[in-house]
Amino acid sequence: MQPPSFTPEELLALARPHGVTRVVLIQMSFYRFDNRYMLDAIGRFPGVFAGVGIVDASTARPQNAMRDLVKQGVRGFRINPGSQTVDAWLGSPGMAEMWRCAGDDGLAICPLIGPNALPGIAAMCAKFPRTRVVIDHFARIGTGGSFPEVEVSQLCALAKFPHVHVKASAFYAFGQKRAPYLDFGPMIRCLRDSFGAQRLMWATDCPYQVQRGHTYADSIALIRDRLNFLSADDRDWMLRRTAEKVFFA
């Protein structure tokens, strides 16, 4: 991992000069179901961090692990198909229990997916209409250097489910992969028009974003300064109020 250290203090040293005072932490995939490092950070900085954890959906009652983590500041749960097919992944009994628990308890399911999983996520949203969903990283649309219209349309179509949100994040990894990231503008505009800014949230994907020669400043500037179709109210929702509503309320 580069950088070899990325402590909460180092993260806040990047964030605070840009007015970011609260952060949603995402459990690192290589720690798998051991959420202790993230939980330690949440506990040491009361009110500063909320968490998105990872639990084992193959266990008999994954909702037990979910509810235990909620007591420690976790408000969402990342899910990822890994090596499974989308149908097998989303069709497991444990996954159904996770979505049901999230709907019952007001928690977020946070799919880290590619565009091929969007139809499956739509089916789950229809099956569990009360479950809050946060799609990570634009569903990874743009890995090939452009933003295919059919994939953007599939993502925008999820707006018909009122509890679905989308993260505008990881600009370094998609499209032209270079600042000032203006090539994201048409997709972000489509998402704003479909979902409303109240269901979009900006994120950096630190530390990956800073280890690849990109900057925190350029990431936040795309939403704060550079897309002239965003109103002041849009920017406030995307930079603060949506994440506050989903992860800190």
Distance CA 95, CA 40 (A): 27
Mean pLDDT confidence for 194-222: 92
Domains and CATH numbers, the chain: 8-248 (3.20.20.140)
Contact between residue 58 and residue 83 where contact means Cβ atoms under 8 Å apart: no
Q: Is the pLDDT of residue 212 over 90?
A: no
Helix (H) or strand (E) holding 11: helix 8-15
Task: Read off the pLDDT of residues 26-36 as tens digits, 9 standing for 90 and up.
Answer: 999 889 999 99
Is residue 44 exposed (0-12), middle (13-18) or buried (19+ Cβ within 10 Å)?
exposed
CA-wise closest residue to 202 among 186, 216, 182: 216
Distance CA 249, CA 247 (A): 6
Whole-model pTM over 0.85: yes
> What confidence score (pLDDT) does residue 181 get?
97
Task: Read off the pLDDT of residues 130-158 as tens digits, 9 standing for 90 and up.
Answer: 999 999 999 999 999 999 999 999 999 99
Q: Is the pLDDT of residue 209 over 90?
A: no
Q: Is the pLDDT of residue 55 over 80?
A: yes
Distance CA 107, CA 62 (A): 14
For residue 78, the SS3 value is strand
Mean pLDDT confidence for 11-27: 97
For residue 229, the SS3 value is coil
Average pLDDT, the chain: 96
Which residues face 25 on adjacent strands?
51
